[in-house]
Structure 1
């Protein structure tokens, strides 16, 4: 049985819970700071996709409680949040408060629209990319962007990836942790990984939710637990399915600190040592493939950032906030100032790694 806060309750208390971007508590460094994990909504693409909505393929809708759905509508409808999600000038003001020099723009995960047929999917992606390119062209020193791909149609996804690189100069693409329930270790996606390596495009994994979320509807667990859980499952399947054995140069940033796997991969390594099922597609412990990945800092605990640096190296950790969602890090420089980092490590995490992985011009 689901326990709800009545939706007829006065809504004024909801916006008060949302975090507000205020001037950073940290001293901004002299070098460039880059936020690798931000979202820009493109209403034109949403309007195109809306008549074709397949809610059964949208876990954030299917497994959200009535309270969560009502809150999300209020949150996105407020004038302040609409500006943050869509308006470059609003974003620039927030970036200046945060001490962020460059944002990497990607679509909100609710705007992957993977359920669209090929023609509509292509049109939606092009609208998103054109809008991103417009914002980047207007503010070339403050924004860069990554593509959205029609992943349910892998061959078309490759065409869109090439187009995004050729026509807009994008150096990366965002993707969910599954494609309408299909796992990313499926061999049909090898053409996407091959093209990404060929083009030098970095993948950014950002889940849309969890496809089997029946037990996660209450308490906003569809986001709180399911986001990192979806990444953990997706990355584990990709490793065990041999994706990085077949495509060792595939670069991928996994947001939300990589989910749970970076903090509990020893169990998977143990299973690899004692169980034949894990040895079908790989020839070394899973954690060795995990070390090839990159992780953002949106984990809310400074000790966890330090653990990521200790485990994978400062060159594999990138500043990320999830701006402008309320599950993001509002003061990223202040947060990272609480992490014990050397100046060299700090320079890599705050921007150096993003510049290298996403081809951000000097």
Structure 2
């Protein structure tokens, strides 16, 4: 590894097999040791996990976890899948079910440390193919900042995955601002990933809490970051939003109109809301090639990263092929160069 003078981090050498470096920025790993810590004090399913889910969806989810459990809980089977899919590097982030924000502070910290240690161990087993992102106990911001520093400085994890809210507190909440200040100081990537919608009373059927709720949560998170002034206060924040950024990229004009027309919409937001979208990165998990083309046109190829949601059933099944219709320059950036720049990666020669 060599020093990166721009970020102060060490560059990570990674393998590249094809024409373009391919980095999947949206892959998950579950760490059983963390579940054991939480279950010893909070037995049973996490609060709210079945509240907005039908019996049929719960049945399908149970079968899914039986199928993907071996892959979700370890990395032994991943290399074969990565080679089959043409993925050079997986950026491993926690299973969103392991945020554990609902626990007491000490349990949340211990569980977060177990997750981060587990991800660091997974990366160390094959550092040319895996890069890590961690989690922090956002219910206690002082602990969250301390653990984020440990992730960056001791474990060499390159990002922190956070939810779209913290126990119902949106991301512009005053209590959360020291965390964003610390993330900006560290220069670490924040990967925003939802865990269903918090008030999905009308989304129980048809897995709507995921199909509609996840992008809606991301939309709200982005909206609060913009309208709440977070991106003005911390202009150097590095943020990537899962699932194509939610619904914002397809309907930002309504936010711009509200900002122009209403003083309550522009109170904390200095500029047109759409102008902030180019400060964010989105993954390309939108499933439809016309929607991908639209995202490239509206957002630009410089701020998009391939993301698959491996190994869940809501993953893009052919993440590299999904980008085939793009111009080669756009494709090179989105398949891997943008993620490499964000995370301090360099392909081996």
Q: How many positions carry a matched residue from both structures?
A: 331
Paired position in structure 2 for 1:355? 340
- CA drift of 1:356 comes to 0.7
Q: Aligned-pair distance for 1:163? A: 0.5
| Cα distance in 2 for residues equivalent to 1:53 and 1:214 | 24
Say whether residues 1:115 and 2:91 are aligned partners.
no
Alignment-derived partner of residue 62 in structure 2: 73
Gap regions ≥5 residues in structure 2: 1-16
Q: Distance in 2 between matches of 1:139 and 1:308?
A: 33
1:38 matched residue in structure 2: 27
Deviations 1:285-339 (A, max 9, x none): 11111221111111011121122221221110100000001011011111111x3
SS state of the match for residue 30, structure 1? Answer: coil
- 1:303 & 1:202 partners in 2: Cα distance? 28
Conservation of the 8 A alpha-carbon contact between 1:53 and 1:115: no
Query: Residue 317 of structure 2 aligns to a residue in which SS?
Result: coil
**141-150 or 86-95, larger mean C-alpha shift:** 86-95
Give the match's secondary structure for 1:35: strand
| SS at structure 2 position matched to 1:100 | coil
TM-score (norm 2): 0.92
4+ residue runs of structure 1 moved beyond 6 angstroms?
54-57
Map of 1:93 onto structure 2: 80
Pairing partner for 2:263 from 261, 276, 300: 276
Give CA deviations for 1:37-72 in whole Å, capped at 9, x if unaligned.
010010110111124449897444221111111221
Contact 2:30–2:74, Cα closer than 8 Å, also in 1: no
Query: Which consecutive residues of structure 1, in runs of 5 or more, have no partner in the other structure?
Result: 1-27
1:131 aligns with 2:96: no
Question: What SS class does the counterpart of residue 50 from structure 2 fall into?
Answer: helix
- Which shows bigger deviation, 221-230 or 187-196? 187-196
Q: TM-score, normalised by structure 1?
A: 0.88
| Alignment RMSD (CA, Å) | 1.5
Q: Secondary structure at the match of 2:56?
A: helix
Conserved 8 A contact 1:202-1:252: yes
The alpha-carbon deviation at position 93 of structure 1 amounts to 0.9
**1:87: Cα distance to partner?**
2.4
Between 51-60 and 61-70, report the one with greater CA deviation. 51-60
State the 1:187 CA deviation. 1.5
